[in-house]
Structure 1
């Protein structure tokens, strides 16, 4: 005769053992930052002692949930796998979702056909919720998710106060302001910028920070638009040098564009930082420390943003109250380029 299978501990049993509410246990499991440290420690101790693990199989029988979460990136596969911004996002999302017992489903959307395919996938009930990354203006996916009533967290602030109100962002405006002020403090007087795509709030906010820092020194002839890619940074830098050969500082709204700017400056015979100081945005250390010279850059907490996104989504899926938005601070990492 086989022994009876031991019953898994429940969320309620963990709450009783820790002397807290079920909602508090749910917040700890979903890594919410709103739990007081002493309560988090009690819950984590109870989880260890009881051997609690989320039982998504049992949950799915009751709630008809799949245990899967869509990670939707509104970019082409070529861009996603070439840009150092997206690798850490995918790794962090997979890690954090697995920690809560959920499976990641990666979905890439470049064009209208991709958007239709993903909309049909979401409508099919294959995922319980979604994390949306790199959205552009007029992207149809937020509207599709809202119509379906699908729990969604956005990476980056939305364009307007639409139906999807949960989002996590880094302080892009503050980062642009910090980078430009630093160049001013270094004695630079003709500071240009290469923006990201201006159909994305992150690019608009970084440009706004640049403008704020310059005040009445702002000159729209020193602004060119890029698309966050290296090639656009190089082309933008060439254009800026043609417009204003006396440029002595550049804020590029992504590290890849800053790398392109460095190449254009080198080919023009200018030295960095002696002739032109360059500051990027992202702080991809594996990239920035190997540029010539090493790149000064605004650090944004990519991993921390994904942790917060997964936490918010977990609370929403558990029926708990979740903050509508979280903004993480940025900071400047000074290297040799400025």
Structure 2
């Protein structure tokens, strides 16, 4: 892939020094008209990004943060990342910074795109999302010395006392714990949990909140498992409702997609009033009038920028040491 043109490329094409290019971008009045026009023509012909150029020449930085744009895959819960990217872009703009979106279909492809953007001087730092156990992106970023913050914890043995890198996450356990406590106080003691197969850091964290509340009161109810699919969730819950004795009082779910499947199954079984709690508080769950845990992605975006450095244009991330390397956002239970 052809790298974007540099200041040196502009200077060479125009037959001037690098300093002259800097003067044209920052103080054009001090440059002779014919020289200025020659430099401007070189900038236009090479496709050099003039708006970023002035800032790079002054600070040696682009004041730009790169973030991966997930491929569109339909579904219900993707709106959370959409809100996060929008909030990050808006808040970065308030600080005089920019967001550079890039697309990739796999972690390996994303590493390639990050490398191109870093080597081309287009971004100073990266925000990655959807972290997982053994994530190769974080290792690559650490090895390359690229400043970054993840939306999602490192999933190490102790991400707080021994953080592998800077991270912001939503306290999933706190969210499902709040939903479980509400269900226990309003519906009864048989509160089931519908989650993804074990092994997902995010899913296991959300299950932990439900389990802690159930164990604290000595309550018992099944842990149901489904893929992130409305139809599969509906089938799983339909089977549970048909065989559950005593019957379930409520269901806490790991996502809104699972909650919608559970609600459809309950309605088909003649239990449309069965309390079902989702996680993400998407427009779809709101339209059905179901309760859900809202992740507050706007607070996540604010946390990311806080870790990126003090207010201002420059990227100056904190050193990842215990106590200051993370921001854990407590979600909000929305009861309907």
- 1:305-324 equivalences under 5 Å are 305-315=300-310, 317-319=314-316, 321=318, 323-324=324-325
The corresponding residue for 1:287 is 284
C-alpha distance in structure 2 between counterparts of 1:130 and 1:177, whole Å = 32
The residue number in structure 1 matching 2:153 is 157
Instruction: Tell me, yes or no, if structure 1 residue 194 matches structure 2 residue 190.
Output: no
The structure-2 alpha-carbon separation of the partners of 1:232 and 1:64, relative to structure 1 and needing over 3 Å to count, comes to farther
Q: Secondary structure in 1 aligned to 2:287?
A: coil
CA distance in 2 between partners of 1:78 and 1:183 (Å): 32
Deviation at 1:88, TM superposition (A): 0.7
Determine the structure 2 residue equivalent to 1:182. 182
The residue matched to 2:184 in structure 1 has which SS? helix
Q: CA 1:56 to 1:118, structure 2 compared with 1: closer, same or farther past 3 Å?
A: closer
For residue 251 of structure 1, report the CA deviation from its aligned partner. Answer: 0.4
Q: Provide the rounded CA distance (Å) in 2 between the counterparts of 1:224 and 1:175.
A: 19
Distance 1:244 1:107, change over 3 A: farther
Equivalent-residue separation in structure 1 for 2:105 and 2:74 (angstroms): 10
TM-score with structure 2 setting the length: 0.71
- 1:99 and 2:101 aligned: no
Partners of 1:211 and 1:61 lie apart in 2 by 55
CA root-mean-square deviation: 3.2
Q: Secondary structure at the match of 1:78?
A: coil
1:166 match: 166
**Is the Cα contact below 8 Å between 2:124 and 2:315 reproduced in 1?**
no
For structure 1, which runs of at least 5 residues remain unmatched after alignment? 9-54
Residue 39 of structure 1 corresponds to which residue in structure 2? none
Give the C-alpha shift of residue 242 in structure 1. Answer: 4.9
Matching residue of 1:277: 275
Q: What is the CA-CA distance between 1:97 and the residue it aligns to?
A: 2.1
Tell me the distance in 2 between the aligned counterparts of 1:264 and 1:80. Answer: 18
Rate the CA distance shift 1:137–1:107 in 2: closer, same or farther, 3 A: farther
Which residue does 2:10 correspond to in 1?
Answer: none
Structure 2 CA distance for aligned equivalents of residues 122 and 138 of structure 1:
23
Larger Rg: 2
Residue 244 (structure 1) aligned with residue 239 (structure 2)? no
Over residues 45-86 of structure 1, what are the superposed CA-to-partner deviations in whole Å (9 max), with x where a residue is unaligned? xxxxxxxxxx9644422553333211125x543158972222
- Which residue of the partner structure matches residue 38 of structure 2? none
2:298 is matched with 303
**Correspondence 1:111-130 to 2 at 5 A:** 111=106, 114-121=109-116, 124-125=119-120, 126-130=122-126
**Partner Cα distance (1:121, 1:240) in 2:** 50
Would the alpha carbon gap of residues 270 and 164 (structure 1) be closer, same or farther in structure 2, given more than 3 Å must change?
same
CA–CA distance in 1 between the matches of 2:119 and 2:224? 44
SS in 1 for 2:154: coil
Counting matched residue pairs gives 276
Distance in 2 between residues matched to 1:133 and 1:117, nearest whole Å: 16
Q: In 2, distance between residues paired with 1:197 and 1:123?
A: 36
Equivalent of residue 73 in structure 2, options 50, 60, 78: 78
